[in-house]
Structure 1
Amino acid sequence: MKYWEQNRKILETYYPGLAEKLEQSEDDWEGPLEIRGTPSGLPTLLVQGMHIHSPRDPAAEARRIAAAEPGDGPVAVFGFGLGYLPEAIAGTAPGRPLIILEKHPKILQKALEERDLTELLSRNRIVFVVGGSPEGITGALQLFSEPPAVLKNRNLVSLDESWYRDAENHLRAFAQRDEVNAATLRRFGRRWVRNLAKNREAIRDLPGIRFLAGSGRGFPVFLAAAGPSLDDIAPLLPEIRERCIVIAVDTSLRMLLRRGIEPDFAVSVDPQFWNARHLDRCDAPGCCLIAESAVYPQVLRRGFRRKLLCSSLFPLGRFIEDRVDPKGVLGAGGSVATSAWDFARILGSAEIWIAGLDLSFPDLKTHFSGALFEARFLAEAHRLRPAETYAHLALHGGFPFKAAAAGSGQVLTDRRLSMYAGWFERQFRNYPEIKSYLLSGRGLAIKGAAAAAPEDILSLPPRRGEIDARLAETFGAMDGGFGNPEAQQGREKQFNHALEELRKELDRIIAVSESAAAAAREAWKNASLLSPERREAVLAELDSANHTIIGSAAKDVAGFLFPPIEELESALKTPGQDPFRSHLELSFRLYEALAEAAEYNRKYL
């Protein structure tokens, strides 16, 4: 205990609450934690008779492990032990961000008792994830702009492999986000631009969800996601509708309509063609559609009672909205269910009851029975590629792994679905006043969501009459404001001005980029013949082009389809051979790509 008090003072200053957590924790650890001396003079730790560090020189061992991850980026350390590995990492780059994951609070407390760690704790950015659920790493990761490298105390990790494996799966899902976003943009970015160009009048003519803010206050919301467990609650849908505002995602709307239930709202935000097919033959004249302006155009032609937009996720849509009519921001976590939950929050409900949010494959199913995916598998199946082949690809194409289920036991999930779970967990922490209930225990456990039985939601009092009256009042007020002729004329004028401004700005970016690309390409070809004065003149021209582009109001619109810089760098013919020539080559490729992206937007406008 000789170092506990001085370490504790540092904890109270830099990590408030951690010392109390360690002292009050109910760790499930059993058995002694033995401290022994080593020839180096430093203590080592034995757990269950196993050396956690080197029995000769634990600091030297930690330095060898830390050398595998040079640099100054964040590092996640799996297993704290006596703290030698975090010290070694900090020694190579003082102030380097660290995430410490330690399953057992007693081990961390033992280290603070036996070693002077004040310098490590006071001079470095450290986030501790100690005990409890390994999903706590998802919150820690939000503090960093890049995914951390991982270094492990393998002996400690071997004592609790499943806990650390779950943490690593969450970390991997976080790291995959940027890769997924970049890959999705490369695949679908041009489609989104075309959708927005076709839907641009909708930004002018359709009201935004801001008109609905707080309209559901005092009422519970039932959210129908599209997971397999939605089948369990299907027979109760008529009774649930009597008690709750009903929100369906586009994927689950088919199920509700087949049961004779028209939800109050249906949410559709995915711009892809196949997502629009979920609404085939799903016209709902009593339902209000909530959409993003980049959805596939036929979505906005469906026969819904009303259509409202949320703020665009894409620069082209935001450019027009900012000048015509801001719609109201709707959270996006990669899945329509995330946007639907955030819409329920915007309505002002304090209770959100959720069915079908499985984020996993209970009973090895991907969606509720009769979902479009299932129908498509059956329709496209043939003797050499049966429906089971499609199901197998859906189950195993996203790096599957097993994780804790909401009820008991484990369930099969994958990296993509667990990434969505991380989004929900963050929202549940950010809005603790909103109670979210999962009406099935068969899906993935989501920290912050309470388990509920069907009888719990049926115990709510019937309030359909009150709900209909409140929504009618809200829509009436919206029509009186947004829909009056004077407001429509104002938006028409602003809309035309916004399009004209956008065209002019894109034309300017195209002209400047093409001119800069030509200058950079010509100089690249003749670099060896250029005088120092001419070199300076070329660089000054490129610098002027940069200032013009950066100052353009349409720079984000043009840059949306811009390829990753790494992709352009990999195509260089003179990488690193001559810094000046390499700079010129990269420059003309950059300007050519920007001109092409701007021209694509200009063409479809």
Structure 2
Amino acid sequence: MSSISNKESAGNREILYKNLFYNAELFTCRFPELSAALGLDSEIGIKQFAERIPESYYLEEAKLKETDKKIFTARINGKYLHSKYNPISEAEKNISLDFFEDKKAKSSCVFCGLGLGYAQELYAKKYPKSSLIIIEPDLFVFFLFLQSRPLDDFFMHENLILLLGLYPKDVLDFFESKSFFDTPIFKIQSLIDVSSSWFSEFEALKKRRNEKTNLNKNTLKKFGKLWLKNFLKNIKQTEGLFGINKIENIFASCPALIIAAGPGLDDTINLVKENEDKFIIIAADTAVRACHRHGLKPDFILLMDAQYWNYLHLSDLDISDSILITESSVYPAVFRLKTRAKFLCTSMFPLAQYIEKLIGEKGKLVTGGSVATACWDFARILGCSEIIFAGLDLAFPDFQTHFKGSRFEEDVNAFSNRFFPSETASHLSLYSASPQLKEGYEGKVLSDKRMQMYAWWFESKIAEFPDIKTYNLLPRGLKIPNMPALSMEEFLLKAKASPLSKKIKIEKMSALFNLSSYKKEGSFSSPNLSSALKELSTDLEKTMKLAREGMDICLNLLDSLKTGKPLEDSIIKKVWKT
């Protein structure tokens, strides 16, 4: 055990050894499952763990001696994590910073890095009712922490959360599930430097999630009323439609080909048409026009946007041979389109989600803000083992914004004049989002933050589902990690190896059509919908009542503070109840 035996005197070795086993027992009592997972719940496990610790990880006695106890500091790869003279005094200075004068920081705090936990332990003593969340990616650091001193007060802290040895994504998922994103984060640079690459990735992912959250909030703020209006208008149209959860894994082990509307689609659409029987063809609503121009009828079309303009992508096209996947808050005319069948996914509109939980959920599509991301998740739900993208650029290759003949291009040409030519509209579309040069599959390409967020979504989802292989066919745009480029030769080999044929596809698609034609008795019926709306009304009335009571309490408190009059007993009782 190098961290115990090689760097200290015999007396100190004995102290560290004693601390280790004592604290391991405290840790096991407080976090039995975590302790068992780390192997710290037994003497054998502790010794095996200690043998793995690098020699560059060890404890040293602090230079400022105390008569009644030993104080240690940690040294990792030649660098001290704490003061080598007096780490406790250093921790006291940290805890006395203005950061901890904030009310939020007093009630809960996330510490990035543990080290020997001097600052964290002082925080726990100073704020015994607070939530103390500690992130420590390096398990060897935690082992040194257990050796440093008796940790009774630390492990007795009421609201202690230890996030040890996790991936950055797992920590962020935990934060999201517990609503910790608004919790103040305290950083000590020397502790972060031990796992600098880990914390760099953590910060990058956190920033992306914050951007996504802000985007979702802004989207709800912008389209909330439109979603509500569309949802209420669509109720009768959507009552009898099945959800995508009814067709889960229906194309298990089959390859899917997703058609996006990027400029690169011009280079791949003919190749896709020649091999359409070998893949499940899923098209974004924005790309259907290009498909039809080349005689390609997608098996599935996804339309997820509530705006009228997205309906126009399909309004003048014959999509009667395709199955439409949509949600209950889209533009009402979408449900009047003649299609082979229609299936619903869970709405992105929170109120619609609430009602769907009461009357039967449809199946959630995890979208990253783009219909192309929804297409990927839909292919996953179908059970497709391989997913190939065509036209997924997420960039402006050769300064193009869309494929040739897109709805955008047609509208621009239709409304252009000598004072506002089509070139001006294209320029505004290209540069309004402040594009930057980023790494592409074939060198540098222009891309903006929104498209980079989509790329991150693909990167994270592909990593989450490693069994599903995802490729980008003849890509010209932004390089997406985990999504390798696919050449024409490789694509043809995959088409040849596909288990699908025209006959098999017809049989499976016919089964879906028959399913959609069958209305399951009692499923999503008017009585259920009616009762759900009544329940919603009751819940809203309760919320209104509580809000009024809260306002009355606040007004009485303010009045009492202004006039100096004591609060009435009835108001005091209400305050205690809340």
Q: 1:373 to 1:63 in 2, by over 3 A?
A: farther
> How many residues are matched?
510
Q: Return the index of the structure with the highest Cα Rg.
A: 2
Does residue 332 (structure 1) correspond to residue 376 (structure 2)? The answer is no
Does residue 470 (structure 1) correspond to residue 507 (structure 2)? The answer is yes
> Residue 468 of structure 1 aligns to a residue in which SS?
helix
TM superposition shift of 1:289: 0.7
User: What amino acid sits opposite 2:302 in the alignment?
Assistant: V
Q: Greater CA deviation, 368-377 or 264-273?
A: 368-377
Return the alpha-carbon distance in structure 2 between the equivalents of residues 424 and 298 of structure 1.
35
Q: 1:158 to 1:406 in 2, by over 3 A?
A: farther
Does residue 43 (structure 1) correspond to residue 79 (structure 2)? The answer is no
Contact 2:341 2:516 in 1 (8 A): no
Does residue 188 (structure 1) correspond to residue 223 (structure 2)? The answer is yes
Does residue 14 (structure 1) correspond to residue 37 (structure 2)? The answer is no
> Residue 286 of structure 2 aligns to a residue in which SS?
coil
Of residues 56, 59, 62, the one that matches 2:91 is 62
Q: 1:241 to 1:150 in 2, by over 3 A?
A: farther
Q: Calculate the TM-score normalised by the size of structure 2.
A: 0.68
Does residue 83 (structure 1) correspond to residue 117 (structure 2)? The answer is yes
Provide the identity percentage.
23
TM superposition shift of 1:224: 3.5
Contact 2:462 2:470 in 1 (8 A): no
Contact 2:139 2:165 in 1 (8 A): no
Instruction: Determine the structure 2 residue equivalent to 1:139.
Output: 173
> Residue 289 of structure 1 aligns to a residue in which SS?
strand
Does residue 199 (structure 1) correspond to residue 224 (structure 2)? The answer is no
Of residues 426, 433, 458, the one that matches 2:492 is 458
Structure 1 residues 331-371: Cα deviation after superposition (integer angstroms, max 9, x where no partner): 3345334433332233233443445667x658698965456
> Residue 237 of structure 2 aligns to a residue in which SS?
helix
Contact 1:173 1:419 in 2 (8 A): no
TM superposition shift of 1:183: 3.4
Return the alpha-carbon distance in structure 2 between the equivalents of residues 477 and 227 of structure 1.
34
Contact 1:333 1:423 in 2 (8 A): no
Instruction: Determine the structure 1 residue equivalent to 2:381.
Output: 346
Q: How is 1:266-415 mapped onto 2 (pairs within 5 angstroms)?
A: 266-279=301-314, 281-314=316-349, 317=352, 326=360, 328-335=362-369, 336-354=371-389, 361=395, 369-370=403-404, 382=420, 387-395=426-434, 414=449
Q: How is 1:373-522 mapped onto 2 (pairs within 5 angstroms)?
A: 382=420, 387-395=426-434, 414=449, 418=453, 421=456, 425=460, 429=464, 434-439=467-472, 443=478, 451=484, 453-454=486-487, 455-460=489-494, 461-462=497-498, 463-478=500-515, 481-482=518-519, 494-495=525-526, 497=527, 505=534
Structure 1 residues 524-572: Cα deviation after superposition (integer angstroms, max 9, x where no partner): xxxxxxxxxxxxxxxxxxxxxxxxxxxx443467899x9xx8xx98xx9
Contact 1:219 1:467 in 2 (8 A): no
Return the alpha-carbon distance in structure 1 between the equivalents of residues 304 and 60 of structure 2.
57
Contact 1:224 1:247 in 2 (8 A): yes
Of residues 133, 155, 161, the one that matches 1:125 is 161
Return the alpha-carbon distance in structure 2 between the equivalents of residues 244 and 129 of structure 1.
41
Instruction: Determine the structure 2 residue equivalent to 1:209.
Output: 244
Structure 1 residues 396-418: Cα deviation after superposition (integer angstroms, max 9, x where no partner): 6xxx998x989999997748964
> Residue 438 of structure 1 aligns to a residue in which SS?
strand
Return the alpha-carbon distance in structure 2 between the equivalents of residues 318 and 415 of structure 1.
25
> Residue 151 of structure 1 aligns to a residue in which SS?
strand
TM superposition shift of 1:192: 1.0
Contact 2:94 2:119 in 1 (8 A): yes
Return the alpha-carbon distance in structure 2 between the equivalents of residues 138 and 410 of structure 1.
30
Return the alpha-carbon distance in structure 1 between the equivalents of residues 541 and 409 of structure 2.
39
Structure 1 residues 92-128: Cα deviation after superposition (integer angstroms, max 9, x where no partner): 34672525154x6665555556566686468521113
User: What amino acid sits opposite 2:273 in the alignment?
Assistant: P
Q: 1:476 to 1:238 in 2, by over 3 A?
A: closer
Q: 1:411 to 1:458 in 2, by over 3 A?
A: same
TM superposition shift of 1:245: 1.0
> Residue 100 of structure 1 aligns to a residue in which SS?
strand
TM superposition shift of 1:426: 6.2
Q: 1:321 to 1:573 in 2, by over 3 A?
A: closer
Return the alpha-carbon distance in structure 1 between the equivalents of residues 213 and 148 of structure 2.
41
User: What amino acid sits opposite 1:392 in the alignment?
Assistant: Y
User: What amino acid sits opposite 2:511 in the alignment?
Assistant: T
Unpaired runs of 5+ residues, structure 1, are 506-551, 584-605
Return the alpha-carbon distance in structure 2 between the equivalents of residues 364 and 137 of structure 1.
40
CA RMSD of aligned residues (A): 5.3
Of residues 120, 132, 154, the one that matches 2:189 is 154
Contact 2:300 2:322 in 1 (8 A): yes
Return the alpha-carbon distance in structure 2 between the equivalents of residues 25 and 450 of structure 1.
39
